Structure 1
Amino acid sequence: MPLIAVCAAWAVFWGSWSALLPAVKLELGVSAADLGPALSAVPVGAMPAMALTGRLARSRERTALLAVTAAFALSVAGVGPAGSLGADVRTVLAAVAAIILVTSLSVLTLRVERGPVASPEHGDRGRVWRTAAVLGALAACALIIENAVEQWSVLLLEEHRGASPLVASAAPSVSMAMLTAGRLVAQALPRLSLRTMYLVAGAGGGAGMALAGLGGHVWTSPAGFAVTGLALGPLVPALLSRASVDDPSGTLVWGVSTISYTAFVAGPLLVAALNGGLGLPAALAVLGLLGLPLVARFAAERP
């Protein structure tokens, strides 16, 4: 339960942040293209942290999780004052920070079981990293699309579809709900192969983004985001599961996670660049092309 609570608190932050982005953009007086580099700041800081935390936290996992969750709460609380944002935005962020801080206390009840840690054979390291590069790149294709929905869907509906803030804020919620549904369905179908997931994620995710970006109606975009979430949902957990099975030492999981996380750096920058020349609706539709490498992987793997 403590891990579920921490993950839920993380979700509360991202859901709130997505809904607040139009207000943040308006108060800062920046364009969508200007917002892209700022949205890349979080993953830029997270990547070296991911590379170091696993080693530094070994044998101190509970303490490390408590510390970083509490620090995360404090950083969220500091966003509003540091950015000179309005009172409404600061209030929401302060409430989210309080939720995260309280949730961090649940980590004290977490039981940590220790065991021997395997390490890959010296001769296998090259194979492990080649596999990590492939799986990480495929996961990155999915995560760029997922991140775009989280960060830009509310802006799309408010500024290009004329939706109210309430309706617009439902877009990432619908997408994440369907993403969760997709993962639950995959969990209930143990015979569903990773190869099939490549096809579903590539074709469904790409089509969903095209529908969301190019569909002109206020309800068409959320429908497209829902299709995207349902199709992409199972893929990244399945890739990480495959990595953990192929390499019990955890090196492959770490490699796939780190490589795929570059999506959160590249995604906002890519959307910002495309937005400058195409506009936000077309920029999001173009991201659907990232489904093509997944379909290609499906075609390349043997049944």
Structure 2
Amino acid sequence: MTTETITAESAGTWILGDLPVRRVGFGAMRLTGSAAFHLGTPSDRERSLAVLRRAVELGVDHIDTAAFYFSALRSANELINRALAPYADDLVIATKVGPYREWSGEWGTSARPEDLRAHVEENLRQLGRDHLDLVYLRRMRQESIAEHFGALAELREAGLVRHLGLSDVAPRHLAEALEIAPVVSVQNRFGLGFHDPATDEVLRLCGERGIAFVPFYAIAGEAGPEGAGTAHEEQVGAVARAHGASPAQVRIAWTLRQGPHVLAIPGTGDPAHLAENVAAGALRLTDAELALLDDARTG
């Protein structure tokens, strides 16, 4: 599958609230280092900047990031600011709040509702913006998200945040949030190599309500932050060979086939992988291939 000339336009578009985005975006987590949550070898700065600029050249207009994506020497938000500011009017930058990391890299306690304004302001400062397009509340094991989401809704009313989303939630959390403020997007772990019935239900509910569903670890599956997944390797490999594509491209294409409201945000610090990921938006699986992969996932 040729990748060099395929742009993100091939994947089609979705509207996040009132912000149109192409269905293949870019996840910034892997820009900053080599290990899980980037406590290993820092990335090459110039290559990371080049990847971001190339992503935009390839038509990517949706970047997913967070202030807690950093290594000893690299910050994803700072790299985005350096590479892409002043930002194009059509570039949508989404970020997440809730988790907290010390500058040593260690995870701290999750944010209290009253802490979230400082989290939003830190993202604003790092990105060099006066408002955030989309902020996800990343749930950190709390049973109710009402107070945290309510705090973000107040920041939305104040104009610091344009749209709100949720991350790592069950159907009950989505229902709880919708009683407080509009939700334009949900991020849950989801992929061909990871099966969680509760998340499948969230996917369905989002489709019914016109809410975007944005999986993380869609390529990694069971491997999570450690890298590309290997689940269902035989079936994925057979489909990949039929299309002259890579297994990662098949996993992205399968993700996009889950519904028009499903967006992909594959991340990489490698320019060649970037082009490959973007080109996956042009890969069209047949119904028989989709059934083969679905059966492998649920079987």
Q: Indicate whether the TM-score tops 0.5.
A: no
Q: Which has the larger radius of gyration?
A: 1
TM-score w.r.t. length of structure 2: 0.27
TM-score w.r.t. length of structure 1: 0.27
Higher helix share: 1
Bigger relative contact order, structure 1 or 2 (CA pairs below 8 A, ≥6 apart): 1
Higher strand share: 2
